[in-house]
Amino acid sequence: MSTLTTAHHKTNPAEHPLTGNWKTLKIGGVTLGFPIVQAALSGYSDWPMRLLARRFGASYSLCEVMLDQFLVSLRDRQRNRHFLYNSADEQPVAGQLMGAEPEQFALGAQKLVEAGFAVIDINFGCPVRKVVGRCRGGYHLSQPDVALEIVRRTRDIVPSEVPVTLKMRRGMDDTSESRDNFYQILDGAFAYGISAITVHGRTVEQKYKGPSRWEFLREVKKHVGDRTILGSGDLFTAADCWRMIEQTGIDGVTVARGCIGNPWIFAQTRALAAGLPLPAPPTTHEQAEVLKEHWDLAEQLYGPERVGVMMRKFGIKYSASHPEYIAVRTDFAKIHHRAEWYAVLEKHYSEDRPGVYPPPEVHRVQGSTCADGCEEGA
């Protein structure tokens, strides 16, 4: 493996590491190949976002997290159909699940399998206060016995050909007890037949403050040997993705905030892997094509009444690739209908101008929220 001297938070896109040292990524019996994938993102990683990520080069993607109770008692099927929607041309895609109680958790997993997800991912990472307060998500990192019971029951109920995976933060906090709990869950989960574990190098307590600790990922990979580990945290440029792989030796990375409104990051990682120079950021015309397509896909999924509000947050994130970021962001933030979306495109994107790489600071300020799929009875 080549050695790197750059610090991982150095994000000048012109500087990038050597990218030849990666292995084909596999999750159980599912071969993904390219080791750079799209993370689970509540409120974002819906079918349109996933489809675009895949088209631009992500080898795999994860759906936004869903609550087991929500899946088991799904009341308003039409209104909530978008949560479970997935299509053949985006496979393999994972459904992600969160909950408190092992039996119900396993039933929720069954619903995700029936909905056609190729992998079932268990969320032990969410730091949102109302989630942790209800003993879900990241809370499980403080109770290894319950966490492992969830893993065992989920693995038992999901058909053996469907891989079950896990997402963890590096602990509840920085105590040694928290660290011991992390390793107990990690080792126990692999012993129960989990196919891969994604580790976000922040603690639950830390939420999104401060950096993701990449040294911890290296330590985890060393600990597990041949088992599959994916990394998460502070992947804002194509170079960051390769740097994480090179510096930690992990098997793959999950791009999160860095790919919202920025599917081009996947094409950029592919170009670097092929030994090509980093592609220029998409021009405003190239961006406009994707903005139109994203709207069309979202309209198919949500319908003309709901699509506007859904697309605002994406428009805001896409605006980070535009040279007039603030003005474009302000206009996208007011969108209700298709005509307004197209008016923003007409105003800011009709002249073909060079784009910009989204500055990492734009992503860094965002924490996670919980979309409706995390709510009881949604």
Ligand X SMILES: Cc1cc2nc3c(=O)[nH]c(=O)nc-3n(C[C@H](O)[C@H](O)[C@H](O)COP(=O)(O)O)c2cc1C
Q: Residue numbers of the site for ligand X (CB under 6 A)?
A: 39-43, 64-65, 96, 123, 125, 167, 200, 212, 232-235, 256-258, 366-369
The angle that helices 325-332 and 338-349 make with each other, rounded to 10 degrees, is 170
Contact status, residue 5 vs residue 21, Cβ threshold 8 Å? no
Helices (DSSP H) in 92-213: which residue ranges?
A: 102-114, 129-133, 144-157, 176-191
Q: What is the torsion angle, in degrees rounded to the nearest 10, for the CA atoms of residue 319, residue 322, residue 325 and residue 329?
A: -30
Residue 346 beta carbon to ligand X: minimum distance, rounded to whole angstroms: 29
Sequence-distant (6+) residues with CB within 8 A of 356 are 281, 320, 321, 322, 323, 325
Collapse the DSSP code of 37 into the 3-class scheme (helix H, G, I; strand E, B; otherwise coil) and give the result.
Answer: strand
Catalytic annotation on 126? Answer: yes
Residue 139 beta carbon to ligand X: minimum distance, rounded to whole angstroms: 14
Q: In this complex, which beta carbon is closest to ligand X, that of residue 97 or of residue 272?
A: 97
In sign, the C-alpha dihedral spanning 98, 103, 108, 110 is positive
Q: In this complex, which beta carbon is closest to ligand X, that of residue 147 or of residue 256?
A: 256
Residue 374 beta carbon to ligand X: minimum distance, rounded to whole angstroms: 8
Per annotation, catalytic residue among 126, 241, 370, 374 = 126
Q: In this complex, which beta carbon is closest to ligand X, that of residue 323 or of residue 367?
A: 367
Sequence-distant (6+) residues with CB within 8 A of 215 are 248
Residue 9 beta carbon to ligand X: minimum distance, rounded to whole angstroms: 11
Q: In this complex, which beta carbon is closest to ligand X, that of residue 284 or of residue 321?
A: 321
Catalytic residues: 126
